Amino acid sequence: MAFLNPLLRRGATLALGLTLVLGAAACGDDDPIVPDDPTIAGLALSTAELSTLLAALTEAGLVQTLEGDGPFTVFAPLNSAFDALGQGTVDALLDPANSDALASLLTYHVVAGEFGAADLTDGQQLTTLEGGQITVGTVGGVTVDGATVVTADVPAINGVVHLIDGVLTRGLDAVERASVTPDLSTLAAAVGAAGLVETLRGDGPFTIFAPVNSGFDALDLDALLDPANEAVLSKVLTNHVISGAEIAAADLVDGQTATSVEGSTLEIDLDGGPKVNGIDIVATDIRVGNGIVHLIDAAITDHLNVVERAIATPLTQTLVDAVVAGDLVGTLSGDGPFTVFAPTNDAFAALPADVLGRLLDPANISILQKVLTFHVLAGEVRAADLVDDASVPTVEGTSVTIDLDGGPKVDGVDIIATDIEVENGVIHLIDEVLIGSLDIVDQAVLYGFDSLVGAVQTAGLEGTLRGDNAGAGFTVFAPTNQAFTDASPLPTDVGVLADILLYHVLGLTAESAALSDGQVVATAEGQNITVRIAGDGSISIEGVNNTVNVLVTDVPAKNGVIHVIDAVLLP
């Protein structure tokens, strides 16, 4: 009875009920005097094993109802029945925020009229005050909705009480059940954000594969709950629901398929434990008023397309921004199939300062499209299909090389997660952005060499520096914008300007590791430059008229390499 003490402070409702039920209490006694003919509410008060039910009736404001004339038949869950729901669920039911759900649940246990055990027949359906119907069974003992009557025919002046060993959860619809189940709180929030509350409170019947809270851990919940992505969230959730059928665990068949409300196929696999679309079913047969719920340990996402899956993935939000900026949403939402090597957020963040901003700049959309489509293969290539040293053409047109030595790589970049299934292909996550589709001019644009790019275009050399130089490529010593400012004014004659620029170009690809101290190299302009490497490893380039310092080495391009220098070389 200790549980009742806080209830006695909740207000006049219970106090009035106690007065009506008990009459008076003996002076100095700790326990109330219960009359021989209590009301149903009085029985709850006087029966220790119904203390949780009494707390629930009080919170729902139903004590006075069950003191009324009736007659009522109440199927009263024992404390142990509530305990089986889990303490978190009981606490949630008693939360004032869930008072409507609690009232629905409790009135589902009450039938108008007095039905003793002898009046109950097998298969009989009784209409509850909540409006639903409970089903009676009498084979091997009396049951209601599968809960066993452990003590029958407890009399009250306004009806009869049967004590049962389970809570009749069909008194809650699917949304209410989720709202009072702690491990479904994320699902409940998602259903609300997707505008699906009324749908899932409908008549059904529904079979729902409900992801527990941890089942959303692999998804970007903040992104999915963003109103801008409501359609994606709705697509995720409705693929967990089958409408028009209530499929219990005993009815699941290996290889069985069903169409979800979203329109995709759900497939059951019973090998090694029940699964749906490869995801473990961790609890079954949670009955609700409009169907049945099975709990699963991850959200089903294999019906999302490439873009939708990227939106739902925490690691690929920058990729989503890039796809939107590159006007490729429609393309990557198409039929495919595609294989996407998807750079993570960290991969984009690892790009040099300001490069990402320029990559997403609408002025550079053609470069962004080259970069993104270079990460995409036409066709579905799973991890098991990757072949070592294979050269595979991308949608952009340039090929990438697969390397399986020491773990899978694409163009030397680690593949850190494989075989993320999507409706129109497969996604593999990578930890760097692939820029092998960009030539020297594109890279100069991205790295902000505005003065160099302008000079190259003025001198008519853009086409040259986008070429492959008969496969040999180019090495460009690229002066910074400040270097051009310091050298201003440069000659305006196009031929002279071209000679100056070509004095910065080698007709071969020479990464920093290929340079040596004292090395003399002929430039595309015709005159030589000399490489100087100091003891600390710093590199400088000695020209005919001046010496410049190399600030950054080995900026890669598909047709060569760029080294950044701090001054303009003058032939």
**Tokens coding 307:** 């873009």
User: How would residue 353 be classed by pLDDT, with cut points 50, 70 and 90?
Assistant: confident
Within a domain: residue 263?
Answer: yes
Question: If you average pLDDT over residues 358-369, what whole number do you get?
Answer: 96
Pairing mode, strands 72-77 and 147-156? unpaired
Residues 484-507: what's their mean pLDDT? Answer: 95
Structure confidence at residue 197 (pLDDT)? 96
Looking at the fold, whether 560 and 462 belong to one and the same domain comes out as: yes
Alpha carbon 502 to chain centroid distance?
51
Other CB atoms within 10 Å distance of the CB of residue 537: 7
Per-residue tokens: 316: 């690929």
- 98-107 tens-digit pLDDT: 999 999 999 9
Query: What is the structure's pLDDT at 372?
Result: 98
Q: Is the pLDDT of residue 11 over 70?
A: no
| Nearest of 223, 241, 240 to residue 232 by alpha carbon | 223
In a domain, 12, yes or no: yes
Q: Which of 50, 110, 163, 46 is nearest to 17 (CA)?
A: 46
Give residue 520's pLDDT: 97
- Nearby residues of 189 by Cβ (< 8 Å), 6 or more positions away: 225
pLDDT at 8 over 80: no
Kindly state whether residue 26 falls inside one of the protein's structural domains: yes
Q: From the DSSP assignment, how many helices (H) and strands (E) are in the chain?
A: 22, 28
User: Residue 533: which of 569, 563, 570 has the closest Cα?
Assistant: 563
Residue 479's DSSP bridge partners are 565
CA nearest to 564, candidates 459, 500, 484, 471: 484
Say how many C-beta atoms besides its own lie within 10 A of residue 402's C-beta: 18
Count of structural domains within the chain: 4
pLDDT of residue 280: 97
Q: What pLDDT is stored for residue 70 in this prediction?
A: 87
Where is pLDDT greater, at 35 or 209?
209
CA angle, 241 as apex, 229 and 267 as ends, to 5°? Answer: 110
Classify strands 413-422 and 409-410 as parallel, antiparallel or unpaired.
antiparallel
pLDDT of residue 44: 86
Q: Could you tell me if residue 310 is inside a domain? A: no
Pair (291, 338) in one structural domain: no
Domain boundary among 410, 430, 450: 430
Task: Give the pLDDT band of residue 13 (cuts 50, 70, 90).
Answer: very low
Burial 483-510 (b: 16+ CB within 10 A, else e): bbeebeebeeeeeebbbbbbbbbbbbbb
CA angle, 58 then 59 then 64, to 5°: 35
Length of the chain: 571
Task: Quote the CA–CA distance of 40 and 158 in Å, as a whole number.
Answer: 7
Handedness of CA 559, 563, 566, 569 (dihedral sign): negative
Give the angle subtended at the CA of 556 by the CAs of 550 and 560, to the nearest 5°.
90
DSSP assignment string, 221-274: HHHHHSGGGHHHHHHHHHTTEEES----GGG--TT-EEE-TTS-EEEEE-TTS-
Q: Are residues 211 and 144 in the same domain?
A: no
In a domain, 570, yes or no: no
At 309, phi and psi to the nearest 5? -65, -35
Judgement on whether residues 340 and 386 belong to the same structural domain of the protein: yes
Residues 387-429 have pLDDT tens digits of 999 999 999 999 999 999 999 999 999 999 999 999 999 999 9
Regarding whether 178 and 164 lie in a shared domain, the answer is no
Q: For the segment 138-172, what is each residue's pLDDT rounded down to a tens digit? A: 999 999 999 999 999 999 999 999 999 999 999 99
Q: Tell whether 257 is covered by a domain.
A: yes
Q: Is the pLDDT of residue 267 over 90?
A: yes
Euclidean distance between CA atoms 549 and 542, whole angstroms: 9
**Three-state SS for 85?**
coil
Strands 528-533, 391-393: pairing is unpaired
Q: Is residue 286 part of a domain?
A: yes
Q: Does one domain contain both 217 and 282?
A: yes
**Same domain as 131, residue 13:** yes
Cis ω for the linkage preceding 35 (within 30 of 0): no
* Residue 314 burial by Cβ neighbours in a 10 Å radius (0-12, 13-18, 19+): middle
Position 10 scores a pLDDT of 34
Residue 106 Cα distances to 145, 245, 371, angstroms: 14, 26, 60
Summary mean pLDDT of the chain: 91
Whether residue 13 sits in one domain with residue 149: yes
Running DSSP on this structure, what letter comes out for residue 384? G
User: Which of 430, 461, 480 marks a domain boundary?
Assistant: 430
Residues 16 and 160 in one domain: yes
Quote the DSSP letter at residue 402: E
Average pLDDT over residues 31-35: 41
Looking only at the bridges linking them, the beta strands covering 143-144 and 257-259 are unpaired
Angle at 267 between CA 266 and CA 269, to 5 degrees: 145
- On the 0-12 / 13-18 / 19+ scale of CB atoms within 10 A, 321 is middle
CATH of the domain at 522: 2.30.180.10
Q: Could you tell me the CA-to-CA distances from 359 to 350, 435, 465, 561, 563 in Å, in that order?
A: 13, 11, 20, 19, 20
pLDDT at 27 over 50: no
CA angle (364 as vertex; 359, 370 as ends), nearest 5:
75
Q: Give the pLDDT confidence score for residue 36 in this predicted structure.
A: 58
- Quick check: 242 pLDDT over 50? yes
Determine the Cα–Cα distance for residues 32 and 10; give it in Å rounded to an integer.
18
Domain boundary among 371, 403, 430: 430
Span 210-232, average pLDDT: 95
* pLDDT score of 553 more than 80: yes
> Locate tokens 């950044």: which residue?
564
Phi–psi pair at 141, nearest 5 degrees: 120, 160
Same domain, 16 and 141: yes
**Domain co-membership, 450 together with 523:** yes
Residue type, 255: G
- pLDDT in the model for residue 78: 97
Domain range enclosing 283 = 174-296
DSSP letter at 128 equals B
The answer to whether residue 302 sits within a structural domain is no
pTM above 0.85, yes or no: no
- Grouping H, G, I as helix, E, B as strand and the rest as coil, residue 313 is coil
Cβ neighbors of 86 (< 8 A, separation 6 or more) are 181, 182
**What is the per-residue pLDDT across 314-328, written as a single tens digit (0 to 9) for each?**
999 999 999 999 999
Q: What is the mean pLDDT of residues 527-551?
A: 96
Q: Are residues 230 and 207 in the same domain?
A: yes
Q: What is the mean pLDDT of residues 46-73?
A: 93
